[in-house]
Chain A
Amino acid sequence: MNATRTTAAPGRREVVATASTSLEARRRALKARRLRRGWAALGLVVPAAFFYVVFVLRPLALTVQYSLYDWNGVGASTFVGVDNYTRLVEQPELLGSTVNALELIIYFSFVPVILGLLTAATIRKFAASRLALAARTVLFLPQVIPLVAAGIMWTWLLATDGLVNELMRMLGLGSVTRAWLGDTSTALGAVGVIGAWVALGLCLLLLLSGMTKIDPALYEAARIDGAGAVREFFAITLPSVRQEIGVCVTVTVIAALAAFDIVYISTQGGPANSTLVPGLEIYYLGFFSREVGQASALAVVFMVLVLAVVLPIQRLTKEED
């Protein structure tokens, strides 16, 4: 950006200098040119801005507006001020699903980031080999499978007569087999496993690309100093991919908090609300209970919560730059 500006500036000065004699005329020409450039830039920005406003900002503004009304989505509405927000405080069960979303962070974010780090650190050493390419492809595969398909596939795998339980029976673990998605004590964890499986590929790829950029001389120097693989990992690899970890954590935390598709396909929030997440709660409130105002208020509160969780992560990684 800066480079373009400095190279463009002298050129412009030259043109202006040859075209006019007086200082005033030169200033006016400069101004006119800047204005033309401004309008051209605006012309390029406007179409994108239009779509952004219509499809992002407008729904956002409307959600905030709806949250102040008692409205069933079709009939006449009543302005109720912040009543929908106070109800969220008075009826804590409406926010109960948030606890599940926070628990999902462990599965959707921590597990794939840690596993991704370990796998990437292992693959890094033979990153150029075919084996690493194969491993990368296999582990990245879940990313390209639509979440709905992943949900359906895992529903079969985790069923009582599914592959997971069959394998456990073969290993003599028949006593622990169960309907993983149908048991209130294991359903959330089972949904978490699906999420971890999906997110692992993205984290692995991001972290691996970060690791391949590390100067090999660093590792050589560490080795000469007598560092082992563990020391190398903590002293060189980990600090070098801090930014990539930041991106991974941000993306996966948002995926955990905003989870909808995997949960909807695999459990629909059941059994007994044990996998109910805010995304589903908003959907049920809006479309089944037809409390559009209440659903919008929960959506707004939830958006603030996501920002409150994600912004510190962003800041943390920025400070380290």
Chain B
Amino acid sequence: MSRSTGRNAAAATSLFLASILALTACSAPGADSTADDAADDGATTAADGDWTCGTDDVTLDAYLETGFPLSAALFEEFEKQYPNVTFDVREDQFAVITQNAPRVLADNPPDLMRLPQMSDLVGDGLLYNLDEAAAHFGWDEWPASQLAQMRVDDEGRRGDGPLYAMGKNYSMTGVFYNTELAEQIGITEPPATLAELDDMMQKAKDAGITPSDQFNGGATGGLAFPLQLLMASYGSVDPINDWTFQKPGARIDTEDNIKAAEHLKKWIDAGYFADDINSLDYSQMMGRFIDGKSLLIFNGDWESGNLDTQMAGKAGFFLMPPLEEGGKVGAMSAPLTFGISSKAENPECAAFFFDWIATNDEARTIAVEIGGSHPMGPADAFMPEVDADSVTGQTLAAGATIADDNGAMEFIANATGAIYAKSWTPNLQKLAAGEQTAEGLLTAVQADYENDVNG
């Protein structure tokens, strides 16, 4: 009996071990994966492509960020104009897209995909090279700054090199404020200098109104929004872009940026942000602002259309004011990036769709009215009529000012794949909790950045 049990046990053990060995048969992970093929595919594009959606039935697989109605509206209009095209849409939260991006692009290649930080994806050969499409459609003749953030060079740095993504529109950040609450505290004009903004927030606090319910909880350091805008008020946007685009030797802990962080710290110490800032998420911030519970929020024009609907006539927008009146202004401004998998089935049709968004009058109207942001495309392209007093009207006008001042910056959170979750967010939360200094914040982020870029 015991012998047979022993034999069975031995047989079962051998079976287990044999199975494990067979199943994990040791080749290096990823070595023979799609990556190598993808790298080859990604480096070239169809030179003689017809760059249309043809006349046969085409289904474009799209993987999008949930919660933004712009894409659905564009798809609907495109399907109306090109009945042979159908969109097959899958939506996820942006954080989910960020973590899934490489695997989805490699294993389940979409024709259109909302992209997170993209230089890693290019490095792995997962994105379709759009240079041929750019030449065919004449995208190269658009203002170069529109496409710069979607170019990635051989070293994985953005700003230059082949084009690997396109924008549905380009968005921009600034300050939304509640005009009714502002009037209550005697303010009828947006602040012209940073000192006036300080004064505005102090007046709100004195009147018992929370100056700002900025989000900064969980894994989302929303204080990065005002911090980067303050950086633009204190200094030039170029060193910030160099840092975000990983230019060699670029630093975030510059003298100007430290002053900007100190200004933010001053706001925190003065009690201009909600007490529970470190537990506030984005939707709570929006909810409180729309309910009239705080004077202002630092946010982007993607909310313009929403605020025009939910706070009609009660919301305004201004760019972060400069140190001195009439000084240069800056804003975080980035295209709403979409890419094509290097293994996608219909890259030419997808590229045609990108071009259509930027050049078709109906599409541009949708981009403005539903997306709330400026469409991509040539500088002199069609623009729909927008009420100048609406929030959308104000953000579009602010966009023109940023373009004139050449003040657009890529979001500092996109410098590396992990810098936002692992460095900016915890350090900004420490700053809000009084556990970090302004200089300490930037020094810590710089150290993590170097670790990410070199490691």
Contact = CB atoms under 8 A, between A and B. Distances in A.
A74 B102 contact: yes
Contacts of B33: 74-76
A69 B31 CA distance: 11
B124 interface: yes
Residue with the highest number of chain A CB atoms closer than 10 Å, among B103, B277, B279: B279
Interface stretch (B11-19, B47-55, B130-138, B179-187): B11-19
B106 A74 contact: yes
A31 B124 CA distance: 59
B280 A76 contact: no
Contacts of A267: 217-218, 279
Interface stretch (A38-46, A136-144, A193-201): A38-46
Interface string B1-41: 10010011001100110011001101011110111100000
Contacts of B90: none
A79 interface: yes
Interface string A66-106: 10010111111111000000000000000000000000000
A153 interface: no
Contacts of A268: 218-219
Given A74-B33, A76-B36, A184-B433, A160 B24 contact: no
Nearest to A161: B276
Contacts of B337: none
A5 interface: yes
Nearest to B284: A159
A42 B26 CA distance: 27
B421 A74 contact: no
A209 interface: no
A74 B124 contact: yes
B436 to A, nearest CB: 8
Nearest to B451: A91
Given A74-B35, A74-B124, A159 B8 contact: no
Contacts of B123: 75
B93 to A, nearest CB: 12
B287 to A, nearest CB: 12
Contacts of B161: none
B121 to A, nearest CB: 9
B426 A270 contact: yes
Query: Interface extent on A, as a size class?
Result: 35 or more
Interface in A141-195: 159-160, 178-184
B120 interface: yes
A270 B422 contact: no
B23 A272 contact: no
Contacts of B16: 49, 53, 57
Interface in A18-70: 34, 38, 41-42, 45-46, 49-50, 53-54, 57-58, 61-62, 65-66, 69
Residue with the highest number of chain A CB atoms closer than 10 Å, among B29, B31, B219, B436: B29
B102 A49 contact: no
B266 interface: no
A290 interface: yes
B15 A79 contact: no
A278 to B, nearest CB: 15
B111 to A, nearest CB: 19
Interface stretch (A109-117, A126-134, A281-289, A299-307): A281-289
Nearest to B219: A268
A273 interface: yes
B102 A73 contact: yes
Contacts of A246: none
Nearest to B33: A74
Contact of A272 (B417, B418, B433): B433
Contact of A53 (B20, B34, B417): B20
Contact of B219 (A9, A42, A46, A270): A270
Contacts of A159: 276, 279
Given A65-B26, A73-B30, A76-B36, A49 B219 contact: no
A257 interface: no
Contacts of A181: 217, 279
A271 interface: yes
Nearest to B126: A74
A53 B452 CA distance: 36
Given A65-B26, A74-B30, A271-B429, A45 B278 contact: no
B430 interface: yes
B115 interface: no
A75 B426 contact: no
A193 to B, nearest CB: 15
A292 interface: yes
A49 B4 contact: no
A279 interface: no
Contacts of A57: 16, 19-20
Contacts of B418: 284, 288-290
B92 interface: no
B31 A269 contact: no
Contacts of A45: 12
Contact of A179 (B36, B99, B279, B425): B279
B120 to A, nearest CB: 6
A223 to B, nearest CB: 49
Contacts of A288: 98-99, 417-418, 421-422
Interface of B: 1, 4, 7-8, 11-12, 15-16, 19-20, 23-24, 26, 28-31, 33-36, 98-99, 102-103, 106, 120, 123-126, 216-219, 274-280, 417-418, 421-422, 425-427, 429-430, 432-433, 435-436, 452
Given A74-B30, A77-B29, A184-B429, 11 more contacts: A65-B24, A72-B120, A182-B279, A268-B218, A270-B217, A271-B217, A271-B429, A272-B429, A287-B98, A288-B417, A289-B452
24 contacts: A42-B8, A45-B12, A58-B23, A69-B28, A73-B30, A73-B102, A74-B106, A75-B35, A75-B124, A75-B125, A77-B28, A77-B31, A160-B276, A182-B277, A184-B278, A184-B430, A184-B433, A267-B217, A269-B219, A270-B217, A270-B218, A270-B278, A270-B429, A289-B422
Interface of A: 5, 9, 34, 38, 41-42, 45-46, 49-50, 53-54, 57-58, 61-62, 65-66, 69, 71-79, 159-160, 178-184, 267-273, 284, 287-290, 292
7 closest A-B pairs (Cβ-Cβ)? Answer: A182-B279, A179-B276, A287-B99, A271-B278, A268-B218, A182-B278, A271-B429
